[in-house]
Amino acid sequence: MSQPSLIMRHVIAALVTNEPGVLAQVAGMFAARGFNIDSLVVGRTENPELSRMTIVVIGDEAVLEQVRKQLQKLVPVVKVVDYQDVAFVERDLVMVQVNTKDGDHETAHRSEIVQLAEIFRANIVDVAPDRVMIELGGTEEKLEAFVEMVKPFGIIELARTGVIAMPRGSSSDAGRRPLRGGIRAYAPDEGGDDTIDPADLPPG
């Protein structure tokens, strides 16, 4: 009897050319094939001709392979970088407005909320008579834990950026320190699963 496929969280980065409609192409591809995308973020890189997409995929190895292959087929995609089996740093950012009122007392919970923000090393970025706006960056787990802690006070509004990620280590020492599994990078015209050094990655 075959073992059930292991459902995991995967982080993939794709370098794409700065052209109108690229994000729509990628999002449309995911929607058409029913991929379970947890997060999709696009932003500029140090190269003005390229943007970086960071995609968090929920699924088994077969789903991950299909995502890679379908991304490689899109013309604007220059390179697909898979962070599987590699130590990397990821960050998400949340901005949340939290209610400070308790009955008619508008600032009843303000000190408690501020103390909670300090514990999580969050920043108070706006204060109003009946609410505060808090900014917090970190891993998804950290952000979700903070959101759960402020829920009892009443969340008025919340916005999140989604995950961005980069592999650990610098290009100066990456060649000397081996990484388990390596970072697997795929260009649209490549079919193999080549393992490369992080220093060989393209800009972004």
Q: Which two tokens stand for residue 106?
A: 């508008």
Residue 49 and residue 63 in one domain: yes
Q: Give me the CATH number covering residue 191.
A: 3.30.70.260
Q: What is the pLDDT of residues 34-54, one digit of tens each?
A: 887 888 999 989 999 999 999
Strand duo 155-160 + 183-186: pairing: unpaired
In a domain, 125, yes or no: yes
In a domain, 44, yes or no: yes
Q: Which domain holds residue 36?
A: 8-87+169-200
Average pLDDT of 68-85? Answer: 85
In a domain, 139, yes or no: yes
Report the domain count for the chain: 2
202 has a pLDDT exceeding 90:
no
Measured CA to CA in angstroms, residue 32 lies from 13, 87, 197 at distances of 20, 31, 33
Residue 25 and residue 70 in one domain: yes
Residue 179 and residue 155 in one domain: no
The rounded distance, in Å, linking the Cα atoms of 31 and 118 is 40
Residue 44 and residue 108 in one domain: no
Residue 38 and residue 82 in one domain: yes
Residue 83 and residue 173 in one domain: yes
Q: Which residues contact 90 (CB under 8 A, 6 or more apart)?
A: 11, 139, 140, 163, 164, 165
Query: What is the pLDDT at residue 178?
Result: 32
Q: Which residues contact 149 (CB under 8 A, 6 or more apart)?
A: 116, 120
Q: What is the pLDDT of residues 56-65, one digit of tens each?
A: 988 888 888 8
In a domain, 3, yes or no: no
Of 8-22, 71-85, 169-183, the poorest mean pLDDT is in 169-183
Average pLDDT of 92-114? Answer: 92
pTM above 0.95, yes or no: no
Q: Give me the CATH number covering residue 101.
A: 3.30.70.1150
Residue 48 and residue 105 in one domain: no
